[in-house]
């Protein structure tokens, strides 16, 4: 196992009290006991792991020693350090799911500021109002068993109308309602990818999409943001799928210009490559911006997905896929196998919310929080490179030296969890980056900057730089 992989699995290992080696051993103990580090798994050498975690080598040696004395690992001259026991058939040596992904959602550490998962912390009052509005309709339901694998008709219609309002005529039979954008991605990956297929993605991109593709044993291939070089890559790679986040891209915040949208949509159609446009962040423009037309406007075959998680609340778990009706039918069958359909009250409330999404007036508050964080970074961390954006919820920050992984480790020990760039980029080119988000309250953003500044002052990049992930850029 490469040091960087183990450091990702370790998550926020250092966010407790006590000596670092005890905390490290405690976290590794849990991974071993839970089977995430299976018997026989080869652990990184002391020095390499110390580099990846930005700690001294003695910390790793002491942690390994503790685990060895408990019989959890074995250390042999020449064959390295391994989890005790022998690997048995059926044990997955390398769990495919990036633990950062789950860890960032589940953890609620008291004294660590969680700046990993970018999403609204407070649902808007309109959410509770929408639920209040559906109560009478709920109490009047008769003769309806409530299973809707395609989604509730009222919500499918509201979503179709919204696409029509954005210049993409759509009928409800082209809409599949999902449990959030993530289920939309998983279903698409399951339907369109076979093991070993290549998938074109932006580098960097949304890590949850990478996980969904990897779950189907796909090989993601990175292109610059906007899938620049798409035509040549298609000739060379014959991908099964291409994935792009065209509006307020996660993590860079960039917007694909309309001309390039059209070109990409037409190129995908000509090459017969399914093109998935992820519009989950598309409603997050700052004041004065106009939402660019979805790529589906240029080519009926483009598959669009969206969600209410960033514009309303992630806890609602409402997302959707817009695709040609035959694909919608196929996806609905797949979806029925997973969960037979989504929660009906949430969908009824969402039907109101989707129809009134533009009245939520997110833009002004987003801009305030963005400006607040940006100004603080300019004042306290002026050597960090923070590109200008017009919307979204994340800042893609380039560190002037060191690497995002080891800095994220240092930041965690100063009470803030941030996302290092490496997990978002299959080419290995984003190692010097970290992703910050500005959805938190301004007071939390101030505290976050304070902790980042202290961490940056204390940060010493590892002498032997953490080896980058293998470059598979094309
Ligand atoms: C680009 C993108 N797509 C999909 C998702 C997942 O959406 P949801 O939270 O609705 O499952 C996210 C969440 O951060 C995202 O940023």
Domain boundaries, the chain: 3-83, 99-118+362-458, 125-360
pTM score, two decimals?
0.84
Distance CA 231, CA 236 (A): 9
Beta bridge partners of 176: 321
Model pLDDT, residue 361: 86
| Burial (CB count <10 Å: 0-12, 13-18, 19+), residue 128 | exposed
Beta bridge partners of 112: none
At the topology level, CATH places domain 99-118+362-458 in: 3.90.1150
**Among the listed residues 305, 306, 296, the one whose alpha carbon sits nearest the alpha carbon of residue 268:** 296
307 lines ligand 1 (CB under 6 A): yes
Centre of ligand 1 from the C-alpha of residue 181, in Å: 5
Model pLDDT, residue 411: 95
SS (H, E, C) 258-304: HHHHHHHHHHHHHHCCCEEEECCCCCCECCCCCCCCCHHHCCCCCEE
206 lines ligand 1 (CB under 6 A): yes
Nearest residue by C-alpha to atom 15 in ligand 1: 280
Q: Which long-range contacts (CB under 8 A, 24 or more apart) does 256-260 make?
A: 256/226, 256/292, 257/292, 258/292, 258/293, 260/226
Query: How is residue 229 written in tokens?
Result: 């070089």
Centre of ligand 1 from the C-alpha of residue 265, in Å: 22
Is residue 448 within 8 Å of residue 434, measured between CB atoms? no
Residue where the block lists tokens 């598979």: 472
Identify which of 121, 211, 284, 309 to mutate to test ligand 1's pocket (most ligand atoms within 8 A of the CB).
309
Model pLDDT, residue 89: 44
Distance CA 347, CA 134 (A): 10
Sign of the Cα torsion 251, 338, 177, 440 reads negative
With vertex at residue 126, the alpha carbon angle to CA 123 and CA 131, rounded to the nearest 5 degrees, is 95
Distance CA 367, CA 373 (A): 10
Identify which of 115, 310, 354, 439 to mutate to test ligand 1's pocket (most ligand atoms within 8 A of the CB).
310
How many DSSP H helices and E strands does the chain contain? 16, 15
Query: How is residue 335 written in tokens?
Result: 């979806």
Sign of the Cα torsion 59, 65, 68, 74 reads positive
Sign of the Cα torsion 102, 122, 417, 379 reads positive
How far is the CA of 84 from the CAs of 38, 73, 95, in angstroms?
9, 4, 18
Nearest residue by C-alpha to atom 14 in ligand 1: 118
434 SS3 class: strand
Model pLDDT, residue 102: 56
Burial 4-17 (b: 16+ CB within 10 A, else e): bbbbbbbbbbbbee
Please identify, by atom number, the ligand 1 atom nearest to the C-alpha of residue 309. 10
Model pLDDT, residue 7: 86
Q: What is the DSSP string of 204-233?
A: S--HHHHHHHHHTT-EEEEE-TTTTTHHHH
Question: What CATH architecture applies to the domain 125-360?
Answer: 3-Layer(aba) Sandwich (3.40)
Burial 188-212 (b: 16+ CB within 10 A, else e): bbbbbbeeebbbbbbbbbbbbbbbb
pLDDT tens, position by position, for the chain (474 residues)? 788 788 888 888 887 778 898 889 988 998 998 888 999 999 999 999 998 899 999 999 999 988 987 889 998 887 899 999 865 444 334 444 455 555 556 555 567 787 788 899 999 999 999 999 999 999 999 999 999 999 999 999 999 999 999 999 999 999 999 999 999 999 999 999 999 999 999 999 999 999 999 998 999 999 999 999 999 999 999 999 999 999 999 999 999 999 999 999 999 999 999 999 999 999 999 999 999 999 999 999 999 999 999 999 999 999 999 999 999 999 999 999 999 999 999 999 999 999 999 988 899 999 999 999 999 999 999 999 999 999 999 999 999 999 999 999 999 999 999 999 999 999 999 999 999 999 999 999 999 999 999 999 999 987 655 444 443 333
Model pLDDT, residue 471: 36
Among the CATH numbers 1.10.10.10, 1.10.420.10, 3.30.70.3270, 3.40.640.10, which is that of 3-83? 1.10.10.10
| Burial (CB count <10 Å: 0-12, 13-18, 19+), residue 124 | middle
């Amino acid at each position: 196992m490469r040091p960087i992989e183990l450091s990702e699995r370790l998550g926020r290992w250092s966010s407790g009290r006590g000596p670092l080696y005890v905390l490290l051993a405690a976290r590794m103990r849990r991974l071993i006991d839970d089977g995430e580090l299976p018997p026989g798994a080869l652990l990184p050498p002391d020095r390499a792991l110390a580099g990846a975690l930005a700690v001294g080598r003695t910390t790793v040696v002491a942690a390994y020693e503790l685990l060895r004395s408990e019989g959890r690992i074995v250390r042999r001259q020449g064959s390295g350090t391994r989890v005790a026991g022998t690997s048995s058939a059926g044990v997955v040596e390398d769990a495919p799911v990036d633990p950062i992904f789950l860890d960032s959602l589940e953890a609620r550490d008291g004294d660590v500021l969680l700046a990993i998962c970018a999403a609204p912390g407070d649902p808007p009052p309109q959410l509770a109002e929408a639920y209040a509005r559906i109560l009478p309709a709920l109490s009047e339901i008769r003769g309806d068993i409530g299973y809707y694998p395609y989604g509730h008709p009222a919500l499918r219609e509201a979503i179709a109308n919204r696409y029509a309002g954005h210049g993409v005529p759509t009928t409800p039979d082209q809409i599949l309602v999902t449990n959030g954008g993530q289920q939309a991605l998983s279903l698409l990956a399951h339907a369109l990818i076979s093991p070993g297929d290549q998938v074109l993605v932006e580098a960097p991109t949304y890590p949850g999409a990478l996980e969904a593709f990897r779950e189907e044993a796909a090989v993601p291939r990175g292109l610059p943001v906007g899938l620049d070089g798409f035509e040549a890559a298609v000739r060379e790679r014959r991908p099964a799928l291409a994935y792009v986040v065209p509006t307020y891209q996660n993590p860079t915040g960039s917007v694909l210009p309309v001309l390039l949208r059209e070109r990409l949509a037409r190129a995908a159609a000509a090459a017969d490559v399914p093109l998935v446009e992820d519009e989950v962040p598309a409603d997050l423009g700052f004041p004065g911006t106009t939402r660019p037309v979805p790529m589906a406007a240029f080519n009926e075959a483009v598959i669009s997905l969206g969600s209410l998680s960033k514009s309303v609340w992630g806890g609602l778990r409402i997302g959707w896929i817009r695709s040609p009706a035959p694909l919608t039918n196929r996806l609905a069958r797949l979806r029925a196998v997973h969960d037979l359909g989504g929660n009906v009250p949430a969908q009824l409330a969402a039907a109101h919310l989707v129809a009134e999404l533009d009245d939520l007036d997110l833009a002004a508050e987003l801009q305030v929080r963005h400006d607040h964080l940006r100004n603080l970074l300019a004042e306290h961390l002026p050597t960090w490179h923070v590109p200008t954006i017009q919307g979204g919820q994340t800042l893609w920050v380039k560190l002037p030296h060191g690497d995002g992984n080891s800095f994220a480790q240092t930041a965690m020990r100063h009470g803030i969890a941030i996302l290092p760039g490496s997990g978002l980029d299959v080419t290995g080119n984003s190692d010097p980056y970290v992703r910050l988000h500005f959805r938190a309250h301004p007071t939390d953003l101030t505290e976050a900057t304070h902790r980042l500044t202290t961490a940056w002052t204390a940060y010493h990049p590892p002498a032997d730089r953490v080896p980058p992930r293998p470059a598979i850029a094309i």
